[in-house]
Chain A
C-alpha cells in the first residue's frame, strides 16, 4: 500500500539549515508529483514546493531562495532542505503525493522547532 514517512530533526537552531527526508513505498516517484507542505501556528497549511515526476521543481516564492527539493529515485526518497531558519519556521512538515487532483496521500509529518 501507499506509504510516506518523514524523518528529520526535532530541533534546529535559528539561522541553521533544516533537512527532512520523505521515504515512500507502494508507488514510483517517477509517476507522481511529490509535495512539501508545512503547518505553522502563524500561517496554517502552507504549500512549500514540489518535485515533478520528471524531476523538475517549483517553489513557493514565500521561501525565495531558502528552499531546495530533490530526490533519489533508487532509494524512493524525496528531500527538503531549507536554510536560514527563523523561529516562525516552527511547525509540522509534511510530504504528500499528487497535485493535479488534490494531494491524495500524506506522511505523518515531522515536528520541527526552531529555537536556540
Chain B
C-alpha cells in the first residue's frame, strides 16, 4: 500500500498570509492526488484533484502542485473561512486509496 505523509500536523497563520501544506507519497503516484478541506463537524470537501486541478466552485486562492512523490497545497491570502483541517489522498494505486493524517490550520 502507498503511504501518505503529510506535514505539518498543525499550522497557525495570520489573515492574508500564504500557507503551504506538504504531502509525500511512499512511491511515485503520477499526480494521482487529491486535497480535501474538512471544517469541524462537517464532511471532507474536494478542493484539488490530479494534483493541480481546481474542483468546481473552489476559490482560486487554493492551488496544488507537485509531481512524483512530493506534492503541496497552497492557500494564498488566507481567509477566516479557510480555518479547517486539510487532507491529501492518493488514488493512483488502488485499492486501497490512502489518506494523509491531516493538517489542522488555525488563525494566529
Contact = CB atoms under 8 A, between A and B. Distances in A.
Majority secondary structure, A binding face: strand
Interface of B: 34, 36, 42-46, 48-50, 53, 55, 87, 89, 91, 94-99, 101-102
Contacts of A45: 44, 87, 89, 99, 102
Given A44-B101, A45-B87, A106 B43 contact: yes
Contacts of A47: 94-99
Interface of A: 35, 44-47, 49-50, 58-62, 94, 98-109
Contacts of B87: 44-45
A26 B99 CA distance: 27
Contact of A101 (B36, B50, B98): B50
Contacts of B42: 108
A109 B43 contact: yes
A44 B5 CA distance: 13
Given A59-B95, A61-B96, A106-B44, 14 more contacts: A35-B97, A44-B99, A45-B44, A47-B94, A47-B95, A47-B99, A49-B95, A58-B95, A101-B50, A102-B36, A102-B49, A104-B49, A107-B43, A109-B43
A107 B87 CA distance: 17
A102 B96 contact: no
A107 to B, nearest CB: 6
A14 to B, nearest CB: 25
